[in-house]
């Protein structure tokens, strides 16, 4: 049997991913699917840390465009990510995965504070660590949080979960002729402005040699396929990095 190519990963989940086809809130079947896919790789002794967004409840950037103070709007978005993290924890633990939620904003009654060394220790013990509240600072996206945590925790790869099969030159849900990229380097991702993740997150990964795989979360088994080295979605890395 083949062994996993990666031993410590960051799984980035948008809030919209948790909403499924509903577009708002949390879809139980979708979250259960995420939990099942996560358990598949945890059972392979892969260390999994999850960064979750909050767009299924609140989008701070959109609220700020409508006149709300940007910092206040972003803090509200951070609280939305905590709700999502607690939902994920419940579903993960229902499948008997030991889980910890760490929040970048202190709220001791419901989550641990984010402490890098403690997070690493949890991962080493086989626990899934779910990071909530972004970086704890306004003006930074949860994509940037995923890149930052990957660097801090010495993760080997960031898995960006989407509802499409990778990175395209146009939205494939709108344009049926959209071309999919099997592989991109970071400079292409930045220069083409393909909308996969913000420039700060991409630059962090590029500077620290951490590749990204953008993949379709709705297809069962994709996380395991990536971990085992199969070509799934779009691989984003430096030109001198081995893809799989």
- In the chain, what are the domain boundaries? 8-237
Sequence-distant (6+) residues with CB within 8 A of 65 are: none
| Max CA pair span of the chain | 56
Question: What are the tens digits of pLDDT across the range 86-140?
Answer: 999 999 999 999 999 999 999 999 999 999 999 999 999 999 999 999 999 999 9
Q: Mean pLDDT, the chain, as a whole number?
A: 92
Q: Are 149 and 203 in contact (CB under 8 A)?
A: no
Q: What pLDDT does 50 receive?
A: 98
Q: How confident is the model at residue 244 (pLDDT cuts 50, 70, 90)?
A: very low
Question: What are the tens digits of pLDDT across the range 135-185?
Answer: 999 999 999 999 999 999 999 999 999 988 999 988 888 888 889 999 999
Q: How confident is the model at residue 1 (pLDDT cuts 50, 70, 90)?
A: low
CA distance 86 to 196: 25
Cβ-count burial of 21 within 10 angstroms (0-12 exposed, 13-18 middle, 19+ buried)?
A: exposed
- The dihedral region occupied by 146, where left means phi > 0, alpha psi between -120 and 50, and beta the remainder, is alpha
CA distance 114 to 123: 13
Q: Which pTM was predicted?
A: 0.93
What topology is assigned to 8-237 in CATH? Carbamate kinase (3.40.1160)
Q: How many CB atoms lie within 10 A of CB 2?
A: 7
């Amino acid at each position: 049997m083949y062994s996993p190519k990666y031993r410590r990963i960051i799984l980035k989940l948008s809030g919209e991913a948790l909403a499924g086809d509903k577009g708002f809130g949390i879809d139980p079947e979708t979250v259960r699917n995420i939990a099942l896919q996560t358990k598949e790789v945890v059972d392979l002794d892969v260390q999994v840390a999850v960064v979750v967004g909050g767009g299924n409840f609140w989008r701070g950037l959109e609220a700020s465009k409508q006149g709300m103070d940007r910092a206040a709007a972003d803090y509200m978005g951070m609280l939305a990510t905590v709700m999502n993290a607690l939902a994920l924890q419940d579903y993960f633990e229902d499948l008997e995965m030991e889980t910890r939620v760490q929040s970048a904003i202190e709220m001791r009654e419901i989550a641990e504070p984010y402490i890098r060394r403690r997070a690493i220790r949890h991962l080493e013990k086989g626990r899934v660590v779910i990071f909530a509240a972004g970086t704890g600072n306004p003006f930074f996206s949860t994509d940037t949080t995923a890149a930052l945590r990957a660097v801090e925790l010495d993760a080997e790869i960031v898995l960006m979960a989407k509802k499409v099969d990778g990175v395209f030159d146009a939205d494939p849900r709108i344009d049926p002729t959209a071309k999919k990229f099997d592989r991109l380097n970071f400079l292409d991702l930045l220069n083409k402005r393909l909308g996969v993740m913000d420039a700060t997150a991409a630059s962090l990964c590029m500077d620290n040699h951490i590749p990204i795989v953008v993949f379709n979360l709705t297809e069962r088994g994709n996380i395991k396929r990536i971990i085992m080295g199969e070509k799934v979605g779009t691989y984003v890395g430096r030109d001198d990095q081995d893809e799989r």
